[in-house]
Amino acid sequence: MYLQIGEFSFQDVTAARSIEWKVLASIGKMVRIPKGEFLYGDTKEKMNIDHDYEIGAYPVTNGEYEEFLDDKENEKYPIPEDWNKDKRTFPEGKEHHPVVYVSFEDALK
């Protein structure tokens, strides 16, 4: 028997559940990214960000995105390509996987 959490699979279900609780406790955690210079992409091109910003410490999961879409105010947002459009549900067994096929433009809405 094994348990899968996101990209990780565990043979020891007890250990996995312990890790799962730690992950669940950290959902919504944001990380501050300070303004300044950074190396971008494979070419390590120097780039500059002129303001601080925050980003989620962990990817948004299919389950979290579904909960977001279930809010009536968010019905305008598109359903990801790999979801069932009629039922507005993610692929079976992928609740804890990162949501994919959400464009940058969709995320800004």
pLDDT value at residue 108:
67
For the segment 94-102, the average pLDDT, to the nearest whole number, is 90
Cα–Cα distance for residue pair 35/52, rounded to 1 Å: 5
Higher pLDDT among residues 81 and 7, named by residue = 81
pLDDT at 74: 75
Q: What digits encode the pLDDT tens for the residues 14-65? A: 444 454 445 555 556 778 888 899 888 889 899 998 999 888 888 889 998 8
- pLDDT tier at 4, thresholds 50, 70, 90: very low
Q: Who wins on pLDDT, 4 or 36?
A: 36
As a whole number, mean pLDDT of residues 98-108 equals 80
Quote the CA–CA distance of 19 and 78 in Å, as a whole number. 32
* Domain chopping of the chain, boundaries: 59-109
Residues with Cβ within 8 Å of residue 88, at least 6 apart in sequence: 66, 69, 70, 79
The three-state DSSP-derived secondary structure of the chain is CCEEECCEEECCHHHHHHHHHHHHHCCCCEEEECCEEEEECCCCEEEEECCCEEEECCCCEHHHHHHHHHCHHHCCCCCCCCCECCCCECCCCCCCCECCCCCHHHHHC
